[in-house]
Amino acid sequence: MRDPFNIIVAGVGGQGNLLCGRVLAQAAVLSSLRPVVGDTFGASRRGGSVLTHLRIGKTDWAPLIPKGEVDIILGLEPLEALRAASKFAGDRTIAIVSQTKIPPVASNNEISKYPALERIIESLNKLCKQVIVLDAEKSLTKIGSMKMLNSYILGAMGTMTQIPLSLNVIRESLESLFGANSANMIAFDEGVKAVQ
């Protein structure tokens, strides 16, 4: 395992970045590793840019990931994933990205235009070693809410062999927060299926 193993969760306020960081930090502790979490907020209101930095290793590290050193980007929103990749991606970065767009307020007012998803993915492919784009909307609509996107993305990430956390330990950490029969666990399993 690379020490530290660096994960960034990129999204907007209200999407559950902080919950993702909490679940993965707890999974690291369950795996006898030391997590360090740092959150940065682009805006103090719902809908603003949010990055959660998670560094997992055997010793303590500074909370923010240096440029070019991220191993996994979990993109809860495509444009936010691209913003994170432009600052932190390197030659080993894998991006797992939901294709569901949440345009910022400026785009809604047509002050600036939200780029086409194809352009965002094309740019991510130039910045990252691998990009996995997920259509979570169909699965989560069946479950009943897009609010479980973070659990869905955690399930998708849990299938990656490059990470120092097993699928089962991430599941255990999420289950300890929501219970075995919650919609979040169904969303987690849907995320696993989406990548497998």
If one counts the domains in the chain, the total is 1
pLDDT, one tens digit per residue, over 38-77 is 877 655 455 678 899 999 999 888 889 999 999 999 999 9
- What's the pTM value of the predicted model, to 2 decimals? 0.91
Residue 182 maps to which CATH number? 3.40.920.10
The mean predicted confidence, pLDDT, of the chain is: 90
Whole-number Å distance between alpha carbons of 135 and 98: 6
Residues 35, 56: contact at Cβ < 8 Å?
A: yes
Q: Is the pLDDT of residue 108 over 60?
A: no
Write down the H helix ranges in the chain: 17-30, 78-88, 105-108, 117-127, 136-143, 149-158, 167-178, 183-195
Q: Is the pLDDT of residue 37 over 50?
A: yes
Question: What residues contact 18, with CB distance under 8 A and at least 6 apart?
Answer: 39, 50, 52
pLDDT: which is higher, 62 or 90: 90
Helix, strand, coil fractions of the chain, as percent rounded to 5: 45, 20, 35
- Residue range(s) defining the domain that contains residue 49: 5-195
pLDDT, one tens digit per residue, over 111-154 is 578 899 999 999 999 999 999 999 999 889 988 888 899 999 99
Residues 60, 96: contact at Cβ < 8 Å?
A: no
